[in-house]
Amino acid sequence: MLLEAKNITFSYTKKKTILDNVSLGIEKGERVALVGPSGCGKSTLSQILAGYMKPDKGEVYFDGKLLPEKGYCPVQLIYQHPEKAINPRWKLGRTLTEAWEPDQELLDDMGIEKEWLTRYPIELSGGEMQRFCIARAMGPDTKFVIADEMTTMLDVITQAQIWELLLHIVDKRNLGMLVVTHNPLLAERICTRVIEFDKM
Amino acid sequence: MKKMNRRTKTVMLVIIIAGILLIISAAGLLMNPALYEPNYAAKKLPPCAAHWFGTDYLGRDMFCRTIKGLSNSIMLGTMAAVFSAFMALFLGIVSASVGGRADKIISYFVDLVMGVPHMVLLMLISFSLGKGLKGVVIGVALTHWPNLTRVIRGEVLQVKNMQYVKASKKFGKSNFQIACHHIIPHVMPQFLVGLLLLFPHAILHEAGVTFLGFGLSVDTPAIGIILSESLKHISTGMWWLVFFPGIMLVAVVMLFDKLGDNVKLLIDPSSAQE
């Protein structure tokens, strides 16, 4: 197993347990969709899998070992709102190279234009910003990608473009991927396996 | 010729305002004290070519006295505002990033100082420190930090939980790198603007506390002293004694205010490339 969650339990308040004893395993090269209605805990689970939050109980294993808390995380999360995942005070060139130095080939693959690099995030559209978020997360040490409702706020054409770009890179590098979505059609189209959140 | 864009204009304005303020403070610093010494041959003159702002009942030239007073006020304001602003930066960052008990204690002191009227606290501190320059500077510095502390604390709390800061951590960045690259640049604009906007406050409070007699000693040429002395003579028709120094004080305060607003325009990213 590349990424494995064992018996994850998590709650924001004492009254309601949002994740109750959830287990999940994903192999290398597999593309898994996590489908479920809004507010059921998909995003919470993906934040836990990427190490952004700690579960109340249970562990997340990467490649047989506990997910590292310090240093570059091999599991990278691509967030729902690109405008929140980019420092508004930095020009995009700096954001792009924060984690690593992407080569020209990747920028071409992602359709990032050179003139965008000297702009501020406020001067780009959501789809353009999301490309930067993806490129930034695709460092050489990234082995697994979690896309949390990555294209929900984009129009259909941009959605299709971005998925095509991301799948191209994921295939090329043989990465594992977890796609969080509430769109079952998208899940079927993109993934090799679909998990329904309620049946976990 | 290419038309100046808004950013260039703002930069020009900032340079001009900063220049005027610098010239006033330098002129006051380097001024020959003989220029505002009593001259009994030229008492109570209304404004004329030789004495632009007129002279007072001791024959002192009011223009030189006003400039010297403003310069003193600007110096004093600088000391107090810089001290206050750095105190606010430090306390704000500590309060937000350490949290827990430190946050509670700092917030308590913020509420405590904000709960007492500025002027009263300023008078008490200045008086208990023996008035004079020391009393006023420490008094102004110790009463002006809470507002900015609250602003900076809020900003740090907010940016700390932003997705891009969390992501930065997952790219393997240390807390120190995150503080240097994300958090401090984020609060810098607030800090700088807060610092500049503290000036007018500090200057007005200095003038105020001096006017009330709890500040600088009577022989220093300070705006507060000039105004309180002049008020005694206004009923005898010597309007220029209070009018010109008053106008100059308002002008300097407004210049600082304008400077703060324009610097804010320059460093705010949503208007940076306009």
| Angle at CA of residue B73, ends B146 and B16, nearest 5° | 95
Considering only CB atoms, B172 lies closest to which of A71, A87, A120, namely A71
Please state the pTM of the whole predicted model: 0.74
Question: Is there a contact between A51 and B170 if contact means CB atoms under 8 Å apart?
Answer: yes
Q: Where are the domains of chain A?
A: 3-199
Q: Indicate whether B149 pLDDT > 90.
A: yes
What is the least distance, in Å, from the CA of A150 to any CA of chain B?
14
pLDDT at B2: 58
Give Rg (Cα) of chain A: 17
Q: Do residues A78 and A145 lie in contact, with contact meaning Cβ atoms separated by under 8 Å? A: yes
pLDDT at B202: 85
Q: Give the C-alpha distances (Å, rounded to integers) separating B95 from A10, A131, A147, B148, B152.
A: 29, 36, 35, 12, 9
ipTM: 0.86
Question: Is there a contact between A85 and B167 if contact means CB atoms under 8 Å apart?
Answer: yes
pLDDT tens digit sequence for A147-185: 988 888 788 888 888 888 888 888 888 888 999 988 888
A178 Cβ neighbours under 8 A, 6+ residues apart: A3, A26, A32, A33, A34, A46, A49, A144, A145, A146, A147
> Which CATH class for the A3-199 domain?
alpha beta
pLDDT at B93: 86
Arch. (CATH architecture) of B73-221+250-271: Orthogonal Bundle (1.10)
For residues A101 and B272, the model is more confident at A101
Q: Do residues B230 and B242 lie in contact, with contact meaning Cβ atoms separated by under 8 Å? A: yes
pLDDT tens digit sequence for B16-51: 999 998 998 888 888 877 777 777 777 777 788 777
Q: Which of A80, A81, A89 to mutate to test the interface with B (most CBs of B within 10 A)?
A: A89
| DSSP H or E run through A193 | strand A193-196
DSSP letters for B199-237: HHHHHHHHHHHHHTTSSS-TTS--HHHHHHHHHHHGGGT
pLDDT tens digit sequence for A54-102: 899 888 998 888 888 888 999 999 988 888 999 988 899 999 989 888 8
Measured from the Cβ of residue B51, the count of other Cβ atoms closer than 10 Å reads 20
**Least CA distance to A67: which residue of chain B?**
B170
Q: CA–CA separation, A156 vs A161, rounded Å? A: 9
Among residues 60-89 of chain A, which lie with CB inside 8 Å of chain B?
A: 70-73, 76-77, 79, 81, 84-89
What is the least distance, in Å, from the CA of B173 to any CA of chain A?
7
Question: Is there a contact between A87 and B163 if contact means CB atoms under 8 Å apart?
Answer: no
pLDDT tens digit sequence for B172-202: 888 888 888 898 888 888 888 888 888 888 8
